[in-house]
Amino acid sequence: MTTAPASASSDSDTRLRLLAAAAEVFAEHGFRAATVRDICTRAEANIAAVHYHFGDKEALYHEVIERAVQAALTAFPPDYGLPPDPTAKDRLHAFVHSFLLRVLTVEKTSVLMRMLTREMVEPTAALDRLVEKVQRPLFRMLHGIVAELSGPHTPPETVLACSQAVVAQCLFYKHAEHVISRMGHRLPATPTEIAHLADQITEFTLGGIERRARASRGDRTS
């Protein structure tokens, strides 16, 4: 049995330390304000280590975000907890539940959410990549579920608006967390609380989709 050379093991360890340190620095300061020196100091690595392992700060940033997003999706995929032969309602609930778990499960996503929040305010090229590789496919999945629930002949703009409303409801609890806490309300945090919130959003959404679809089609039935 052979073992890897010490230098290879050391390189791998340094790379992982850089990724962990970079995630913290980028989350705290954003891409533009973060410096390679700060990252290397926190990782206890040589200042040239970023160039050696990643090429430059931008490439490191892209890898940090993409690894964090993929880890969150692996832990809580959009079909999380789906039963066999799921209905459209089942698929909507799974999508909402997994979305909330990715957003609100603090120990897994706090650094990721801080980085993504900064991307919303100060977008970089990383946001374009995330939209194409992650957000667009996820939204396409959600849009398909909402279209099925809306029924035939529902105008596309209604399906789109209802799909966006699902995303808005889920993100509200993260982006407004400081307002929520100052109003004396608890942010759902435990698995049980998040599951209950998923039930609430799903049922509220189902009612909203039905009413909006009927209204947009001009149905006379209430």
For the purposes of burial, counting CB atoms within 10 Å of the CB of 112, is it exposed (0-12), middle (13-18) or buried (19 or more)? buried
Residue ranges per domain, the chain? 1-55, 62-217
pLDDT reported for residue 122: 87
Q: With the C-alpha atoms ordered 189, 171, 87, 199, is the resulting torsion angle positive or negative?
A: positive
Which of 98, 216, 83, 87 minimizes the C-alpha distance to 167?
A: 98
Question: Which token pair is 97?
Answer: 């539940």
pLDDT reported for residue 9: 62
Q: 62-217 architecture in CATH?
A: Orthogonal Bundle (1.10)
pLDDT reported for residue 118: 85
Q: If you compute the radius of gyration of the chain from its CA atoms, what whole number of angstroms results?
A: 21
Alpha-carbon distance of 55 to 60, in angstroms, equals 8
What is the residue-level pLDDT of the chain in tens, covering all 222 positions? 444 344 556 778 999 999 999 999 998 999 999 999 999 999 999 999 999 999 999 999 999 999 989 989 999 999 999 989 999 999 999 999 999 999 898 665 678 888 888 888 889 999 999 999 999 999 999 999 999 999 999 999 999 999 999 999 999 988 898 899 999 998 898 999 999 999 999 999 999 999 999 999 887 444
pLDDT reported for residue 155: 96
pLDDT reported for residue 121: 83
- CATH number, span 1-55: 1.10.10.60
pLDDT reported for residue 109: 63
Question: Which token pair is 222?
Answer: 């209430």
Which of 142, 12, 136, 131 minimizes the C-alpha distance to 65?
A: 131
pLDDT reported for residue 10: 77
pLDDT reported for residue 106: 65
Judge whether 68 and 76 are in contact, CB under 8 Å.
Answer: no
